[in-house]
Amino acid sequence: MREPLTGQASPGIREADVLIIGGGLSGNLLAMQLLRLVGSRRIVVVEPRAELGRGEAYSATEPGHTLNGNAARMSVEPDDPDDLTRWLEAHIAHGGWPESAAQSVPVAQLFPPRGLFGTYARQRLSEALVIGSARGSSLTHVRDEAVDMQPHAQRVSVTLKGGEQWQAGAVVLATGMFPAARTAQRQSSGLNTMALDPWDVEALRALPVDARVLIIGSGLTMVDALETLNQAGHRGPIEVYSRHGLLPHVRRQPPAWEDFLDRSPHLRSPLQLMRELRRQCRLAEAAGVDWQAPLDTVRVHIARLWSQATDVQRRQFVRHVRPWWESHHHRSPPQGHSLLQRLLSEGRLSIRAASLQGVERSESGLPRIRLRYRGQAQVSVVEGDGLINSTGIEYDWRRVDKALPRNLLQRGLIQPGNLGLGIAADISGAVLNAESVPAQRLFAMGPPLRGQWWESTAVTDVALQAKALAARLERLL
């Protein structure tokens, strides 16, 4: 067995059967599925973090940064939706997560901290490693960053930032998400040069407790920022600005509702879907059922609907429907929603619809933002003691100032996905080059396939992709 879950650089070209670029949840789940397959294979994961399986989302240290789905919805086992629930039950029974005792709901309805979910994902990987080792497979974690690659007929060469060279029979881009706050975006507003990272707990804690805090973006990332400020004892005013001024709804536990899309295959365009969904929600409310019940039935159809849609229909959705879809579908966990409502009731939190025009530093060195409020032509200026970039995730690889996306795009090895979302690939995950030719040995999964499937970030979606891609790689190799 080769260097399980750790790796050291060595001179010369090193060999692997499958090399996975990215060791967050996507890479973790793919490695887990590969290790469980019959046969011997050398699996390498290139990930700069010390631990596999956590990535950006599940490295969270704040207890208030919880999953936005309850345990029943977040299993990493595509064939066992109750896996996380059972793991949590055992974990709690052995004294773990004592704070859960304060929540008088079944374990399946709990929203565990994201850091705890990362522990669960790592444990499932460790168990798969035991299975794989018994069959002659190995898992090597190389703590480095991939910066370039070159496909060949039978292999793919990968260059790491530290200078190490690898060759593999197949390479998978499991790069996960690029947080907008940690991406040097090519934008004129200057937001990233002045704003704080919403997940930089120490930076947010360093703000004065009575600071006037400005936040750009009103989605789930903003809720995380509120949690961190609250834990730090912040008691000053907080002003949130976003283009539409929409807040995420709270996630509840609605009862089952008939899958109306399954019996209505003729519904395809965004307009048709929205009209029927609104009708179903009205029917639910008239029957005394939570409107979230019909909405939750849509999820299993998203990939099909998005892939079948025309470019015009996709653009219509992104332009006219996306903000409302995000606020209604990507809902806030109860704890974060309770905090948000409390801050609103106290008058400390305000939400305004406005587009960001620019960011600069005032004479006193404080952040100053220029805004155009919705419905107004003139630009207004607002100054605060602190500024947080909570605009969420950057999906457009052309805006990601990192070596690997930049090099792959420049050399035509990949092309942007639909509407500039992620990268283009075929239905099996094989990456398309600039001429739209599918790669033979270069694949992608998870968030990079946002343009292919739209919802390609949720745990259940990524788990299904990992299982299918592992089977595809087994046939290839």
Residue range 258-312, pLDDT digits in tens: 999 998 888 877 778 889 999 999 999 999 999 999 999 998 898 888 888 899 9
In the chain the first and final C-alpha atoms are separated, in Å, by: 19
Task: Tell me the pLDDT tens digit for each residue of 416-472.
Answer: 999 999 999 999 999 999 999 999 999 999 999 999 998 888 999 999 999 999 999
CB 64 within 8 A of CB 226: no
What's the domain count of the chain? 3
Cα 290 from Cα 281, distance rounded (Å): 8
- Which residue range forms the structural domain that includes residue 295? 270-329
* Final residue belonging to a domain, choices 296, 313, 329: 329
Q: Residue 229 CA to chain centroid, in angstroms?
A: 22
The average confidence (pLDDT) of the chain is 93
444 and 313 housed in the same domain: no
Q: Do 420 and 436 fall within a single domain? A: yes
Residue 100 lies in a domain: no
* Domain CATH code at residue 31: 3.50.50.60
169 and 227 housed in the same domain: no
- The proportion of the chain whose per-residue pLDDT surpasses 70, expressed as a percent, equals 96
| 3-class SS of residue 380 | strand
- Tell whether 72 is covered by a domain: no
Residue 19 lies in a domain: yes
Q: Is residue 317 in some structural domain? A: yes
Q: Are residues 367 and 343 in the same domain?
A: yes
Q: Are 305 and 260 in contact (CB under 8 A)?
A: no
* Residue tagged 């990362």 (tokens): 118
Work out the average pLDDT over 182-209: 83
Same domain, 282 and 350: no
Question: Is it the case that residue 3 has pLDDT exceeding 50?
Answer: no
Per the domain annotation, does 92 fall within a domain? no
Confidence class of residue 10 from pLDDT cuts 50, 70 and 90? very low
Cβ-contact 129, 35 below 8 angstroms? yes
The verdict on residue 453 lying in a domain is: yes
CA dihedral 47, 29, 437, 472 (to 10 degrees): 130
Q: Looking at residues 152-178, what average pLDDT do you find?
A: 96
- Our CA angle for 198, 201, 203, nearest 5°, is 85
| CA dist., res. 151 & res. 378, Å (int) | 52
Domain stop point among 351, 367, 394:
394
pLDDT digits (tens, 9 = 90+) for 19-58: 999 999 999 999 999 999 999 999 999 999 999 999 988 9
pTM: 0.93
Give the per-residue pLDDT at 58: 94
How many Å apart are CA 443 and CA 425, to the nearest integer?
Answer: 8
Pairing of the two strands 386-389 and 393-394: unpaired
Q: Are 289 and 374 in the same domain?
A: no
In terms of Cα–Cα distance, which of 446, 461, 466, 476 is closest to 34? 466
pLDDT of 11 reads 57
Task: Please name the residues in contact with 79: beta carbons below 8 A apart, sequence gap of 6 or more.
Answer: none
Please, which contacts does 342-346 make with residues 24 or more away whose CB atoms are closer than 8 Å?
343/226, 343/238
Instruction: Taking residues 69-91, report their average pLDDT.
Output: 97
The closest alpha carbon to 190, from 20, 345, 387, belongs to: 387
* Residue 121's pLDDT band (cuts 50, 70, 90): very high
pLDDT band at 185, cuts 50/70/90? low
- Which residue has better confidence, 10 or 14? 14
Domain boundary residue, one of 281, 310, 329: 329
Looking at the fold, whether 325 and 416 belong to one and the same domain comes out as no
From the CA atom positions of the chain, what is the Rg in Å?
23
pLDDT at residue 270, rounded to an integer: 76
Query: What is the C-alpha to C-alpha distance for residues 113 and 73, in angstroms, rounded to an integer?
Result: 14
| Digit-coded pLDDT (tens) for 201-255 | 999 999 999 999 999 999 999 999 999 999 999 999 999 999 999 999 999 999 9
* Nearest alpha carbon to residue 291 among 328, 259, 260: 328
Is residue 362 domain-shared with residue 406, that is, in the same domain? no
